[in-house]
Structures are given as C-alpha cells and as structure tokens.
Chains A and B, each alone.
Chain A
C-alpha cells in the first residue's frame, strides 16, 4: 500500500518537474501517467499492491471532481452573461462529439474485424 502510494506520487512528481523544465503544454500528472505506463511496460506486470490501490482510487474518481465542481459558484456571473449561446454550444457540441466518436470508432473497428475475419 505504502509502496504503491510512493510509486504513484514519484511518477506525478517526475511529471510535474519535467513539464516545468521543458515548458510542455500539458499538465504534470498526464506525463506522470505516461511514465507509469512506460514503467509497467518495462516491468512486464502490475504489482498487486499497485493494482489494489489504483482500483480503489479510480472507484471514487467521480468524488474527486466535486471540489472543483463547486467552484462553478464563482463563475455564475461569467456564465450568466452569455448563457444561451454557451448552453446551446455545450449541449450540441458534446452530443455531436460523442456521437461522431462512437460512430467513427465502431465503423473502423467493424472494418478491421471484417478484414481480419477473412
């Protein structure tokens, strides 16, 4: 358990430091995830303790967004100014993006399976 926490925090720390040093356009934890992924590839298996810790962390992933979500109260004024275009844009684009992604991905998967099936 402790080793799993240390491993995860070390990856995050290395990610944050690298992003700062190289001025990369994405956040440290994302690079930390890549580092962890590469580490697992090299090791060739997930240590059971790491798997158990990450499973319990990811099971409550939704909870982790609540504090930032409550921050919406600070932005009421900003969102209220252009609320109709904003709401319409968010609903339409989220629905479109989700549908297009699902259609394209399932079509490509089907195409691939058919080609490999022969």
Chain B
C-alpha cells in the first residue's frame, strides 16, 4: 500500500474529505451538497445557466469582487487610523513602508471601481432577459438596493485617504444634501422649517458643517461596518431568492 493510499485511509483524512473525486453521478452531487460554500448552488442547473454568453457571469463576478474587497479591506484596516491627524500619514506609510502595501491599496481601489461597473452590467443583463418579471419582481428590488449600497460603499471609501481628491469629491457629493427639500437649509421650504447649516440633514451626515474629522470617522464606520453588514444581509436575501424562484430565469415552455 502506498503512502498516499495510507493517508487516504487514515481517520484524519476521512474525517475531513468524505468522498473522492471520481467522476460519478453521486460524487458530482456530493461535491455540491457536502460543501458549505458550493451548497449555495443546487446539484443541477438548467443548461443555459452555464452559457456565459447568456449569463455574462456579472452577478457572480460582483460577489467575487465583494469578497476581494472584504479581504483587502480588512488587511488595510490594520494600517489605517480614521483620524485627521493620522489618516493621510497612514496611507503614505502603507504606500512606502508596508510590504505589498501599495499593491493592497491598488487592488482595493480597482476592485471597487470594477464592482460598480459589474453591478451595472448585471442589471443590464437581467433587464434585457426580462428576468425581473414574476415571480422575480422582489428580487429585482433587492438588486436595486444592492446597487445603491455598492455606490454608497464606494462613496464612503472615497473619503478615507484624506487627500485633496477625497475631501473635495466628498464635499461636492455631500453639498447636494444641503438642497434636500424640507430637510436641507438651502432646499425648498428648508428655512421655513427652521433648517440651518448646523442642524440639517447634511450636518447629520457629516457630523459638522464641512467635511472634517467627524465626517472622516462617520464615513469610516459606515464604510467598514454598517454598509457591509447591510450589503451582506441584502445579498443573503438576493441569493436565497434566486434559488427559491427556480434558479436563473428561462423561457417558459409555452407563451
């Protein structure tokens, strides 16, 4: 008996791997069902779900990018302090002194840009194949929520390097909140309702009257904790409903 054979028969090996890779029908199902991650899939799918020209794979790629962003983001958190004193210096430190720090930051930024694009393309595919139609209406709504969350995640992350690009992009973006009808001090009926620069909705968002240290902390917490948790919650519903609605949409047998 070869060593490899001995290892495979050991109690330890068998406790971890419950079946071989032999290409048999039961094994093909086991690969999916006995794996907690692949278990997201059913054991078999409609043939057109494996046609890349039909699906474009954009939903899956978006999910992959979310995972990439989570991993790189968690590592970046080791090197970053969300205060006006340290934030910029920490990015400089990351770029010049941390091994692979620049690479890490690049991957986080480019994956974030790419994710916005893949979400849009996913929405386009779902629309062009009419996949939002009954019974999948609500999953489309969840998808729009995820689109908004993706944009908000990207927007809150944009401030964190605390450089000129970050500060002024967020200033331009959040200045619009001043003009919110009723709730902003420059919006229609805002002053009539007692809105001022230091009590309107923009103040709530920034924790101040301009993009300053409190805004940095708020955006950091939103970016690293609140929004990812929300996105995960919506993703769980999104994937679950894809399964419950019978996998990706397919042409009805009669029309």
State whether these chains interact.
Answer: no
| B contact set with A: CB distance below 8 Å | none
| A contact set with B: CB distance below 8 Å | none
